[in-house]
Amino acid sequence: MKTGKRYRAVFKALSLGILAAFFFSSTFVINRWLSLGGGDWYWTATLRYLFVILLLTPIIIVTGGISSFTRTVVCFWKSLTFWCISGGIGFGIFYLALCYSASYSPGWIVATTWQLTILAGPLILRSFGSSVRRGSLFFSSLSFVGVVLVNLHELQSSNLSDFRGVLFIVLAAFCYPLGNTLCTQAMSDTGYRWASIDDNGILQNTFSRIWIMAVGSLPTLIVAGLLIGVRDMPTFHQLVGVGYVAISTGVIATSLFLYARQNIARTGDEISAVDSTQSFEVPFALMFEVLFLGATLPNLIGWIGMVAVVVGVSGYVFSARN
């Protein structure tokens, strides 16, 4: 009976992860659209988290009362250094790098290379002492191979100049799970001396957790703006595009993903399983590009890749059940 409940919990976590991937996938297409429209990549990244903070503040107050928001602010302030580091890495550097890459690479290249986070997640978890079986690493690799196959034809026919942003996508792929793993470790009270979390209960609230990480990313975003010397102000179509991204990915997708990863998943294998659902961002992103940007459908190898993704994620279900 206990095994059956755990299996259903894992299935629920994977379902939420796939739904999150649906909303996440719009980021790649919209960021590319904003880049082609002349929007500065720095503002695309920074505005997202400003919007997220503005959106989540009333949500936290309405759902939990003013006391919940007060506890959220206190939790952030008491561990200011920790949240500026974890939020700066997992939200700030991650999205700055992802938006910068959109200035040089089409959305499908960004979406494909981003799947390195599927492999980065287990490696980071292992470095923090979590147990991740070899079978889980195999299914992660299978999912990654699948998303590469999805765009194999495009990779072969692309100009090398399209890959100038790949290095920054790789950086983003490691920063995102690293920042979120630091947050998970704080929730599990592993004893960071510089992260004295007195109110772990507030971190169980997904909205509060995202708000804290988003606020923690602001110092990194401000320093980045000073270093690169941003001059141009954001355009109107950039405000609209980023506003949509903030709602669909910064609030909806991130809430679904973090809830599944940090509130349902328990073991390193289950967390890796949730991380692997991000591979569905590739077929979803391809669908959006076909519908809105006139992209062509994949060839036979591409469809085989999609099947590999589904098999890889399904394998996680049985791995976690066993």
Token pair recorded at residue 100: 């910068």
Mean pLDDT, range 238-251, rounded to an integer: 88
The residues near 22 (Cβ < 8 Å, ≥ 6 apart) are 253, 280, 284
pTM above 0.85, yes or no: no
- pLDDT confidence of residue 167: 83
- pLDDT confidence of residue 264: 83
DSSP assignment of 162-173:
GGTTHHHHHHHH
Per the model's pLDDT, the better-predicted residue between 63 and 232 turns out to be 63
CA distance 197 to 153: 49
The residues near 157 (Cβ < 8 Å, ≥ 6 apart) are none
Count of beta carbons in the 10 Å neighbourhood of residue 310? 15
Lowest average pLDDT, out of 24-33, 135-144, 281-290, 301-310, goes to: 135-144
- pLDDT confidence of residue 68: 94
Would you call 166 helix, strand, or coil by DSSP? Answer: helix
Greatest mean pLDDT among 84-88, 121-125, 281-285 lies in 84-88
pLDDT confidence tier of residue 1, bands split at 50, 70 and 90: very low
CA distance 53 to 96: 17
CA distance 150 to 298: 7
| pLDDT tens, position by position, 15-67 | 999 999 999 898 888 888 888 777 788 999 999 999 999 999 999 999 999 99
Beta carbons of 315 and 308 less than 8 angstroms apart: no
Amino acid at 231: R
Mean pLDDT score across all residues of the chain? 82
| pLDDT tens, position by position, 157-172 | 566 555 667 789 889 9
Residue 133 has pLDDT above 90, yes or no: no
| pLDDT tens, position by position, 136-154 | 677 777 878 887 787 666 5
Amino acid at 263: N
The residues near 173 (Cβ < 8 Å, ≥ 6 apart) are 113, 114, 115, 116, 117, 120
